[in-house]
Amino acid sequence: MKLIFGILIFYSLLFPKSETDTDVKHMIVLFNGNTIVGHVDSLDVANVYYRLADSLEPLKLPTWKIYYIYNDFNRVFHYSLSFKENMKRINNRPGTLFTIEGDTIPYKSVLANDNFFKPEILVSTSEEKSTYYSMLGIEKVVTDYSVLEYSIERGSAYSSYVFALALLLDLRIKDFLPQLKFFGLNKTGVTYESFVTLIPAATIGSLIWDLWKDKRSFYFTPVYEEKKFGRSMYIGSLKHILQTISDNVIFRIEKTKFGGKVIRLIRQKVS
């Protein structure tokens, strides 16, 4: 018995058990592809609280800086609106898939699932063959040029924003109207002429910008922790910006005693 007990002590000294080895590690992927390896203690709408893998010092990072977070079990437990939108944009488009193992796979169509905590895409390489790939095993997806439809939408939206701003600054409505003889407007407004020119200019500018920035490439998983993406994966749409701001405002209000009661009451009424 003493011999067995001595062997166990010797074994424990020879192969010490490290508590940190049993902890689940988390990979915090930033929009540029840089990855922070550590342990997430908690997160809320505004911040992620974590510590580095080789440190006990508590750290904090704003959630708006984070692309997504996954763990050792290949589960995504936090993702940004940009991550969700990028998965949506690659749907039903031909292109080429690059895995983190170095494989290059041309495909006819892909379809991303709605389970963003275990993200997968169905890759169709032919009419008869389709294969599921884990998103965490994919370095990037390069689509065809049809994805630039988002560039056209953005260019049109930008010109509309400028038009609305000009309308607020200059309340002479007639300057924004085309020539309408029936209503007594025999001259086209100066501002209207500028606006008509602005629409194609903004659209063409948006297309050129996205081609230069290689917006056909959608990066998902860094090959190495130190390797950056070919471009930032942040989508700075007005919709995303407003939603991020509203989520943070609601979160701060909910943290107060009175605000928390009001928000809970509203949620109960809505549900």
What domains sit in the chain, N to C, each tagged with a CATH number?
2-80 (2.30.30.100), 83-144 (2.30.30), 148-212 (no CATH), 238-270 (no CATH)
Structure tokens at 33: 């592809």
Q: CA 258, CA 237: separation in Å to the nearest integer?
A: 32
What pTM did the predictor assign?
Answer: 0.74
Closest CA to 228 of 105, 67, 60: 67
Q: What is the pLDDT of residue 93?
A: 92
Q: What is the pLDDT of residue 242?
A: 75
63 close to 48: Cβ distance less than 8 angstroms: yes
Q: What is the pLDDT of residue 46?
A: 86
CB neighbours (10 Å) of residue 86? Answer: 20
Q: What is the pLDDT of residue 6?
A: 43
Q: What is the pLDDT of residue 253?
A: 75
Q: CA 210, CA 204: separation in Å to the nearest integer?
A: 10
Are β-strands 109-112 and 76-79 bridged in parallel, bridged antiparallel, or unpaired?
unpaired
Q: What is the pLDDT of residue 36?
A: 92
Structure tokens at 41: 């203690």
Average pLDDT along the chain: 78
Q: What is the pLDDT of residue 172?
A: 52
246 close to 174: Cβ distance less than 8 angstroms: no
Report pLDDT digits (tens) over 130-160.
Answer: 999 999 999 999 999 999 888 888 877 777 6
Could you say which residues of the chain have pLDDT below 70? 1-22, 160-199, 224-226, 258-263, 267, 269-271
